[in-house]
Each structure stands twice: as C-alpha cells, then as structure tokens.
Structure 1
Amino acid sequence: MTIQQILTFLSAKGLLHEDEAFTIAGGEEAASISLTLPHLLILKDVTEEEKAILSSRLSMLYEKESTLILLSSEGRIRRLTMGEFRHDLGKEPFLFLFDSRKASGKEPTPFTLSPLEETMDMLLAPGGCPWDRAQDHRSLRTYFLQEVYEVIDAIDKDDMENLKEELGDVLLQIVFHARLAEKEGFFTMQDVVDGINEKMIRRHPFVFEKITVEETKKLLGDWETRKRLEKNRKYLLSGVSKDLPSLLLACIIQRKVGSHGLTEALEDGALSASCAEEIKAAVDGKGAVDKELSVGRFLFALDRVIHAEGVEPELALHRYARYVMDQLRAFEKGLFQRGKSLMDISPEEAQVLWQDFCRKTDTSVLP
C-alpha cells in the first residue's frame, strides 16, 4: 500500500479526515517524535533498536490507557491501549495511528541529575541529616555493595519495577560518593559522567571513527591489550580486585589468562579427565538454562563434599585465586627481567616459559 492508499483507507473507515493535519515518521525519527500535529503515522520501516526507542518515547508522551489504532498489511484494524501497544511492537505491524489530542499534553522533562544532587546537598549541609553527614567513602562501601546485589536480584526476578527502584538506589550511592569527593576537592559528578563518556568513545573507535572492517576485527581482538595500555597497567591482572567473590574472581582470572594460553597450565591437572568428560556429557545438547542448572548441580554437590572435609569453599577458592594472582605476578616479573612480557609472546611460548618458571622456583600452581 502506498501512503496515499493508506490515507484513503483510513478516511474511508472514518479514522482520518482529509482536512486533518498529520505527520509521517519512520524509524529514524523514533527518538524525536513530538506532539506538534494531531495525528502521527508510524510506518513499518522500524528496526528492533528503533522500536525500543519508539516504545520508550511514546510511553512518555501518551497516557497508559490512551487509544491508538494498529493497521496490519492485510488491512486489519485493531484498537489498542498504550500499554498493549508496547507488547505489539515485536509483531511487525504495518503502521500505527496515534491521536495526539489524547496524549498527556506535554513533552517529557529532559533528563537531569540536578534534583538528586540538590537533595544530596541539603542532606550533607549543616543542619542536614546527621547520618549522611557522618559518612565517608569507606563507611558507604557496604551499602554500595548491598545495593548492587539488590539490582542483580531484581534482574534475576525480571522485576522491572523493582529494577527501576534499585537502579535509583545505586545512582544515589554514585551521587553520594561524587559529592563527597567534590567537597574534598578531588572530582565532581560531571567529571564522572565526562570520564566514562570519553572512555566509551575512546574504546570504540570502530563505532565513532571511520575504519575498515579488518581494522575493526583487530581492535575487537586486542580489547584487553588496549585497556592495559590505556591504563598503563604493567601486569596482566592489574586492576582486578582481590576482594571480588571467589567464583567471580576465578572466572576473571581464567578469562584473562586464557588469551595467553595459560588456562590449562594453571589448572595443573586439578580436574581429572573423567570428571571433565562427565560435566561435558551432562550439558551436551542442552539449552542455556538447563546447562546452568546441570553445572550448578555439580557445584552444589562439590560444596557438600568440601564442607564434609571441614573446609569453607568460599574461603578456599578465594585463597587459591589470590595465590594464583601472586604466582602470575612473580612470573611476569621474571619475564620483564628478560625483556619480555605476556603481550609480546605467543601462547605457546608463554606455556614453555611458565613451566620453566615453575621448575626454577621449585613451585607449581599448588602451594
């Protein structure tokens, strides 16, 4: 159907009159839709990303119970509420017809942190909240960690309303720390925002600069190396916090050493071939959720076995992960003395040099 055919069809159905003003928008206009004209037609050339933007934008402009009209490519018409519309975005409609006169009547307020910053200033000012005024970066540490875990819990429950609230709690912690730092003369909230924005642009030259496909592939492959150079980090695990939960810490260590061919060398035969095959067989051919459940079952059983030996698994894994970090740092120091680094040598050479390091220091990965 052409645009004229669409308009004729809508007029015949009494949904649009010839003397009424309207505007036509495609996917590119999704983020800038306004209420300047009574009617708005959203045509079918909307990508998945633009649909998400469009849904968010229109949900701000239109009340939840506002009525809109969906016209399919077969000419079928359905009336939907704004709430129902958000669920229909993924069904590839031909177009939507909105009556702006039923919208909320005002443009959404531009995003700003100012209200939250002003509230925090009042809390921290003389005569403000005694508890807030008594806090420092270290005393807030536990609360920040707690809020992050509550965000994760909301994500796991797929509870969007709770996620909105918990993200707000995390944002409060960020503003709190930034305001304390500003009072101490270190940095401001604007410095925080500018810093992360500049970092994202700097680390994504394949998005913000004109480079070839081959250059893009190389940049993606050198992600960890570029981060280390940017931060002037001398060691492979520089910047990795030893205070992370033990299993997460172990995962990060293995991911970072994996690109240098040292994963199996660090395991040092700790996992028998039969056990590894048993785990592989348990997850083979299963979907993502079932794989997680199967592996979780192994970890759950392993926890019981370890506890039966009088050992706390969390502490044991954490101690071993920290030991591996110390061993790797000693190994890298030896490489530096020989004019080498893990960034300069191949995975094969790294494995040979690691074995040489273990022999010369009379140590292995196991303490």
Structure 2
Amino acid sequence: MKEKFIELVRITKKLRSEEGCPWDREQTLESLRSHIVEESYEVIEAIDLKDYNNLKEELGDLLLQILLISNIAEEQNLFSLEDVIGTHSRKLIRRHPHVFGERVAKNADEAKKIWNEEKVNEKNNEKDRSSKSFPSLIRAVDISNNYSKLDLDWESSEELLEVLFSEIKEYQEAIKKKNRLLAEEEIGDILFTVANLCRKEKINPEIALNKSSDKFLKRAKIFINLKKNINNLSDEEIWKKAKLLAKESS
C-alpha cells in the first residue's frame, strides 16, 4: 500500500516535470477546478450504477486530481501533499474526541453533533464560509445547516411545505405582472426552500435531481421511439405510455 502510493506520487511528479506530459505541465489550480468537479460526479455516477469496477477507476482519477493540485501548490510554495495529509490527520483527531479523547458518543447522531461542535470551535465565522464554488443546491443546504446552529431554521418539513406553497404563489404573481427579475427571485426562493426540504429529509438534492433527470431521459428516449411508430395517439397519450414502459423496465 505504502509503496504503491509513493509510486503514484512519483508518477504524478514526473508528469509535471520537464520530461513529462505537456498537458499536465500546463495545468494550473484554476484549470483543474472543472476536472475535479467532473471526476467527483463520475464517482457518484459509478456508485449510483453500482459499477464497482468503474468506481475503482474513477476514484483513481479523483485521486490524481488531488495529487496534481498538491504538486502545483508545492511548486508555488503554497503547501505540499505532506501538509495536506498532516493537516487532515490532525483535523480528524480534533473532530473525533469521542475516539481519540475523553468524550463519549453512544450513536451516530451524537458523533455527528460532536463533529459539528468541534467544527464550530475551529471556525467562529463558519456561518459565512459556505463556498460559492459549491453546486447551488448543495450551497443552499450548507448555508442553512450553518445558520440552523444559531436557531435560524424551520421546525419541520411540514412547515417548509407551507413555505414552498407560499413561494409558488409569489412566483405566479410575478409571472402575472410579467416581472422577469421578480420571477427569477421567486424561482430562487422556491429552489432554496426545496433544498431545505431535502435537508430536513436527509436527501441530497443534487443526487435527487440527477435521478429525476435520468428518469426523464429514459422516458424521453422511449417517447421518441414510440412516436415514430404510433400515429393515432396524442403526444400526451404517448408520453403516458412512455412513462409506464420506463417504469416497467426499471
């Protein structure tokens, strides 16, 4: 294990060297942002598909991005891979006092609570640190999680549903007024509320939305094939048939 990791680090450094790969040499911290996001989503997709051979490969691709970013940072005298590993090891120990210290966690909920308490202790301004580079729905969840620790939160999913219905009505009013800017704002409020509903129900909104997108694509492909061969049904009837066929093949 140790030898294989050291070999991978050596290979990555070689790629960045003068004798290495022109593409790898010209990469920057900025250029690798999109790559690490793409690789992260490919890891998620492999997990969703239970494609474990591909998951192994995608995890390797994600690890490569981490090594490349660490190499570039070291070249710029920002930090090294050793710094990354050391910093994270210390953080794991700090945030697990129930494992490495005297605190006690009887279950996963208590362990998570301790983690969050330690996180807040480390970052007094945590509530304002939510990254704008997060996917928008995840950022909404992250912001709300942070402020919920200050008792700025909804009591239940039922309360959030009422908020959602209210936001939809406000969006409808904006549409009636033909106020595009206001409509955009109200759509944002709807999405923020949906993200919080996901948070309350412990559902990852990005994963949920991706699943719905995949479901639509499956139905759409069936719809297109059906429409080529059916002339006596309306598009709505064909769509209903496509939904049924997609469900049966799931």
Q: Does the Cα contact within 8 Å between 1:247 and 1:317 map onto a contact in 2?
A: no
Q: Does the Cα contact within 8 Å between 2:71 and 2:80 map onto a contact in 1?
A: yes
Identity percentage of aligned residues: 35
Aligned partner of 2:8 in structure 1 is 116
Q: Does 1:186 align with 2:78?
A: yes
Output aligned runs, 1:217-366, within 5 Å: 221-231=113-123, 233-234=124-125, 236-264=126-154, 271-272=161-162, 275=165, 309=175, 316=188
Q: Does the Cα contact within 8 Å between 1:246 and 1:317 map onto a contact in 2?
A: no
Q: Does 1:161 align with 2:49?
A: no
Q: CA deviation at 1:165?
A: 0.7
Aligned partner of 2:87 in structure 1 is 195
Residue type of the alignment partner of 1:161: N
Query: Higher helix proportion, which one?
Result: 2
- 2-side partners of 1:270 and 1:210: how far apart? 38
Larger-Rg structure: 1
Aligned partner of 1:138 in structure 2 is 30
SS at match of 1:263: coil
Output aligned runs, 1:85-104, within 5 Å: none
Change (3 A) 1:116 1:313: farther
CA RMSD of aligned residues (A): 3.8
- 1-side partners of 2:24 and 2:82: how far apart? 21
TM-score relative to the length of structure 1: 0.41
- 1-side partners of 2:31 and 2:112: how far apart? 38
Q: CA deviation at 1:181?
A: 1.1
Change (3 A) 1:110 1:221: closer
- 2-side partners of 1:320 and 1:121: how far apart? 42
Q: Does the Cα contact within 8 Å between 2:137 and 2:192 map onto a contact in 1?
A: no
Q: Does the Cα contact within 8 Å between 2:96 and 2:114 map onto a contact in 1?
A: no
Task: Please point out which of 139, 142, 148 is paired with 2:40.
Answer: 148
Q: Which deviations, in whole Å up to 9, do the C-alpha atoms of 1:100-152 show, x marking residues without a partner?
A: xxxxxxxxx55542222222222211132122111110111111111111111
Query: Higher strand proportion, which one?
Result: 1
Residue type of the alignment partner of 2:39: E
Q: Which deviations, in whole Å up to 9, do the C-alpha atoms of 1:10-50 show, x marking residues without a partner?
A: xxxxxxxxxxxxxxxxxxxxxxxxxxxxxxxxxxxxxxxxx
- 2-side partners of 1:262 and 1:213: how far apart? 26
Change (3 A) 1:111 1:152: farther
Q: Does 1:207 align with 2:79?
A: no
- 2-side partners of 1:117 and 1:131: how far apart? 17
TM-score relative to the length of structure 2: 0.59
SS at match of 1:137: coil
Q: CA deviation at 1:320?
A: 6.6
Aligned length: 179
Q: Which deviations, in whole Å up to 9, do the C-alpha atoms of 1:51-70 show, x marking residues without a partner?
A: xxxxxxxxxxxxxxxxxxxx
Residue type of the alignment partner of 1:147: E
> Which blocks of at least 5 consecutive residues in structure 1 are unaligned?
1-108, 277-301, 322-367
- 2-side partners of 1:244 and 1:314: how far apart? 21
Change (3 A) 1:218 1:146: closer
Change (3 A) 1:246 1:220: closer
Change (3 A) 1:120 1:217: closer
- 1-side partners of 2:104 and 2:18: how far apart? 57
Change (3 A) 1:315 1:142: farther
Change (3 A) 1:132 1:169: same
- 1-side partners of 2:109 and 2:42: how far apart? 36
